[in-house]
Structure 1
Amino acid sequence: MWIIELLVVLFFIWLGARIGSIGIGFAGGFGVLTLAVVFGIEPGAIPMDVILIIMGVIAAIAAMQEAGGLDYLVWLAEKVLKANPKYITFLAPVVTYVMTMFAGTGHTAFSTLPVIAEVAKREGIRPSRPLAIATVASQIAITASPISAAVVFFAAELEEVGVDYLQLLIIAIPSSFIAVMVGALVTNFLGKELADDPVYQDRLAKGLVSDESASDKGREITKEAKRSVLIFCVAIIGVVFYATAISPMVGLLKEPILARDHAIITFMLSAATLITLLCKIEAKNILNAATFKSGMSACICVLGVAWLGTTFVAAHLDEINIFAGNLLEAKPWLLAVVLFFAAMLLYSQAATTRALMPAALALGVSPVAAIAAFAAVSALFVLPTYPTLLAAVEFDDTGSTRIGKYVFDHPFLIPGVVTITVAVALGFLIGGVVL
């Protein structure tokens, strides 16, 4: 019977992916209803902790965007990229990685993709190279962000098996960043040179390739924009310092008033309040910010999909233990494979982590193996329907960043697989030293 129920779960995940965007959350909730009514399965725990963290962080980021803070960050990124255009394939992923790590959401990459495409094109570099690895970097950086919902939830699970939040970051940050750089090195040799690409030459002959710089639009950086970024930075530093202070490794606060997830939510909402007041923006306009809309969409997706996953896993934990427990104990790297394919379908690092990591740790997977495999929850690039992938294709008018007719033949796959593989391997290596 559990096999039939698993097929039902996979069907609703497929249905959600077919609908697209927020639809995967809708379909997840429909799946929970089906498991409850048709199969008599009690619904699992709603992932409210993850959802609330996403909401808190997105509130602060949306306020910062409304104040012009994101424009300021893009302006800084543009300065870095244009100062060293020949190294765009290596600098672009650094920029998107840092911005995602800083903001706790990969949606910040949207604002930098047109700049990356334009700089590469003007330098005669195939834009698909920096765009592909930059998009992958924005996804894997979630597993290294101190304020991302995936990291905060996973850290809470790891604390129950004796691993600290700081230890997770000490392993995740270097392993993922080095992996991104290795991915950039490999990506630098993929595809024909731009001048030799027949698709580019055809589009160029037809006048479909613009030579207008993304920065030519004229971006005004106000003092309020800089102030909003400063407030957001102070809030993040506050979160990191507080999380460090309550960490058992440091132990400055033995009996903290706020738990880590509560601290993140309150710090971020406080930052949003200060940005709204001190940067003189209309609170009602924050609701229309692109980051607010995408963040609330992510909340619905996590609600539906992660709830569906926890419902199935909780109902069949014994069967899963028998089927997978011994296998994962003998070959712990297989957890990375499971997370890779789950993320490919769930389209969310937080949802994948929330749905599968507790079960993996309950099955006896070692903390080192779980942390090493954590990078695999970033496999959102496999199916070319994720918003940042589609945006990268759209922004590249040279045609070098294109989706092939076989679905999986797109420029994001190889950089993504290489990056995650290296990150998992480094996770085992660094984790063995740290833990």
Structure 2
Amino acid sequence: MWAIELAVVLLFIWFGARMGSIGIGFAGGFGVLVLALVFQIPPGDMPIDVIMIIMAVIAAIAAMQEAGGLDYLVSIAERVLRANPKYITFLAPIVTYTMTLFAGTGHTAFSTLPVIAEVAKRAGVRPSRPLAIATVASQIAVTASPISAAVVFFAAELGKHGVDYIHLLLICIPSTFLAVMVGAFVTNFLGKELADDPIYQERLRKGQVSQVTEEEAARESSHAAKRSVLIFAITIFCVVAYAIGISPTVGLVAQPVLPVNNAIIAFMLTAASFITFFCKIEAKNILNVSTFKSGMSACVCVLGVAWLGTTFVAAHMEEIHMTAGNLLRSYPWLLSVVLFVASTLLYSQAATTRALMPVALTLGVSPLTAIASFAAVSALFVLPTYPTLIAAVEFDDTGTTRIGKYVFNHSFIIPGLVTIASAVVFASLFGRLFL
């Protein structure tokens, strides 16, 4: 019976993927309904903690966007990229990685992808190279961001096994960044040079490639925009400082009234309040910005998919313990493979972490192995239907960034595989150093 129920879970995930976007969340809830009413399986725990964190962080980021803060950050990124066009395959992922690390969501990459495509084309660099690795960098940086829902939830689970939030960041930040640089190095050799690409030459002859001029639009960021970024940056510093202060390693606060999860929510809503008040923006306008809409869509996706996953896992915990427990104890590296496959289907680092990491840790997987495998929850690039992947393809009018005939042979697959594999290796090494 469990095989039939698993098939039902996979069917609804596939159905949601076909609908795309928020549809995967809808399908997840539909799947829970079927498992409950048809198979008499009690619903699992809803991922309320993850959703609350996403909502609070997105509220602050959306307020910053309404104040012009995101445009200000993008203008800084533009100046960095345009000043060093020949090195864009390395600079582009650094920019998207940093923005995701700062914001806690990979959706910030949307704003820089057109700039990356334009600068690469002007420099004669094959745009698929920087676009592919920049997109992958924006995904894997979620597993290193101090305020991402995936990191905060995973840190809470690791805390039950003697590993705190600070140690997790000390391992994940350097390992993922170095992995992105390895991915950029490999990506720099992929595909023909732009001038030799036949598809580009054909599109050029047909006039389908826009001619880029050297003129840059001079955009003067307002004081409110800069103020909003400063408020958000101070808030992130306060979150990290608070987490350090209450961690058992430092022990400044022995019995904190406010746990880390609640602290992040409170700090982020406070940041949104300050940005709204001191930057003099209309609170009602925040509801209409793109970041708020995509963030609320992510909440529904996590709700449906993670709830569907926890419902199935909770119903078959005994079988999972018997089969997966022995397997993972004998071959702990398989956890990274499981997380990789799961995130390909769940389309969310937070949902994958919420659904599988607690199970892995209760099965006896060591914290070191779990942390080393953590980056594998970022395999959102495997199926070329994720929004940032589609956007990268659309922004590249040279035709070098493309989805292959056989679905999986697209521009993002090799950069993504190399980056995640490297991150697992680096995290294992840093884990032995810090744990």
TM-score normalized with structure 2 length = 0.99
Q: Distance in 2 between matches of 1:214 and 1:21?
A: 36
Deviations 1:147-182 (A, max 9, x none): 000000000000001111111111111111100000
Deviations 1:241-275 (A, max 9, x none): 00110100111111112110111111111111111
Q: Distance in 2 between matches of 1:8 and 1:361?
A: 26
Q: Distance in 1 between matches of 2:187 and 2:156?
A: 35
**Contact 1:115/1:214 (<8 A) preserved:** no
Q: Which residue of 2 aligns with 1:366?
A: 366
Mean CA deviation greater in 407-416 or 205-214: 205-214
Shift of residue 212 of structure 1?
3.5
Q: Which residue of 1 aligns with 2:338?
A: 338
Q: Distance in 2 between matches of 1:214 and 1:313?
A: 56
Q: Which residue of 1 aligns with 2:385?
A: 385
Q: Which residue of 1 aligns with 2:210?
A: 210
Q: Which residue of 1 aligns with 2:189?
A: 189
Mean CA deviation greater in 211-220 or 236-245: 211-220
**Contact 2:45/2:310 (<8 A) preserved:** yes
Q: Distance in 2 between matches of 1:172 and 1:406?
A: 33
**Contact 2:67/2:224 (<8 A) preserved:** yes
Distance 1:215 1:305, change over 3 A: farther
Distance 1:71 1:28, change over 3 A: same
Q: Which residue of 2 aligns with 1:428?
A: 428
Code of the residue aligned with 1:313 in structure 2: it is: V
Shift of residue 220 of structure 1?
3.4
The question of 1:155 aligning with 2:118 is answered no
Code of the residue aligned with 1:266 in structure 2: it is: A
Deviations 1:177-202 (A, max 9, x none): 10000000000000000000011011
**Contact 2:41/2:315 (<8 A) preserved:** yes
Specify the SS of the correspondent of 1:248.
Answer: coil
Q: What is the 5 A alignment of 1:12-411?
A: 12-212=12-212, 216-411=216-411
Q: Distance in 2 between matches of 1:107 and 1:417?
A: 20
Distance 1:293 1:175, change over 3 A: same
Specify the SS of the correspondent of 1:251.
Answer: coil
Specify the SS of the correspondent of 1:40.
Answer: coil
Q: Distance in 1 between matches of 2:272 and 2:115?
A: 27
Q: Distance in 2 between matches of 1:377 and 1:387?
A: 17
**Contact 1:115/1:215 (<8 A) preserved:** no
Runs of 5+ unmatched residues, structure 1: none
**Contact 1:13/1:346 (<8 A) preserved:** yes
Deviations 1:41-97 (A, max 9, x none): 111110000000000000000000010000000000011111111110000000000
Code of the residue aligned with 1:159 in structure 2: it is: G
Shift of residue 234 of structure 1?
0.6
**Contact 2:368/2:432 (<8 A) preserved:** yes
**Contact 1:105/1:142 (<8 A) preserved:** yes
Code of the residue aligned with 1:362 in structure 2: it is: T
Identity of aligned residues (%): 75
Q: Distance in 2 between matches of 1:369 and 1:171?
A: 12
Deviations 1:331-387 (A, max 9, x none): 111000000010001000000000100001011101000000000000000000000
Distance 1:147 1:123, change over 3 A: same
Number of equivalent positions = 435
Distance 1:218 1:394, change over 3 A: farther
